[in-house]
Amino acid sequence: MNGIDHQTLSLSPLLVGLNMDELESLVGAAAIHQFRSGEIIVQEGEPGESMYILHDGEVVVEKKTGDEDHVELTRLHRRGDFFGEMVFVDVLPRSATVRADPEAMLLEFPLEVLRLFFEAHRDAHLSMVVNMTRVLSKRLRAANEQIVSLKRGDG
């Protein structure tokens, strides 16, 4: 199906626990995009209306530090890594810019697609929310460690 590796995607930290029917239904509703090196996928400050899962390639997540400067927050490079999940939680603008580096194939899940999927697959919805919470907790712990390191002067 469109060259999508469902088996590997089933190991995504977001999708663990979904059965193959749920996974195929969700992935089947995704829009698939190929981004060239340097192409912006989401722009900091813009409204967020979709979540993305990495299928191939790599993306860099950056935050503005000034008018022209950016700092790299992280790189996502494993199939199944995801970003844009904050659209589930709040309606605030995107908190960072994500761009392909060097290139990336992504599955895009607009909020309406997710809403319809969740209505039809209640157990999958719960699994994904729990999985997302675990990943957000892990990311928060890593950010806390970076803050401590910066305050000590090691970073």
73-122 confidence digits (pLDDT tens): 899 999 999 999 888 788 889 999 999 999 999 999 999 999 999 999 99
> Do 108 and 125 sit in the same domain of this protein?
no
Angle ∠(127,99,95) on CA atoms, nearest 5? 60
In a domain, 126, yes or no: yes
In a domain, 14, yes or no: no
Summarize pLDDT for 8-57 with one digit per residue, the tens: 888 899 999 999 999 999 999 999 999 999 999 999 999 999 999 999 99
Residue 132's domain comprises 121-155
- pLDDT value for 2: 62
E strand or H helix at 114: helix 111-120
* Strand stretches in 6-131, DSSP E: 31-35, 40-42, 50-64, 70-76, 82-83, 97-110
Radius of gyration of the chain from its Cα atoms, rounded to whole angstroms: 16
Does this model's pTM top 0.85? My answer is: yes
Instruction: Residue 44: give its domain's CATH number.
Output: 2.60.120.10
The residue with tokens 């008018």 is: 67
> Do 33 and 109 sit in the same domain of this protein?
yes
> Do 142 and 66 sit in the same domain of this protein?
no
> Do 90 and 129 sit in the same domain of this protein?
no
* Strand stretches in 23-96, DSSP E: 31-35, 40-42, 50-64, 70-76, 82-83
> Do 37 and 81 sit in the same domain of this protein?
yes
> Do 82 and 127 sit in the same domain of this protein?
no
| Pairwise CA distance, residues 113 & 149, whole Å | 40
In a domain, 10, yes or no: no
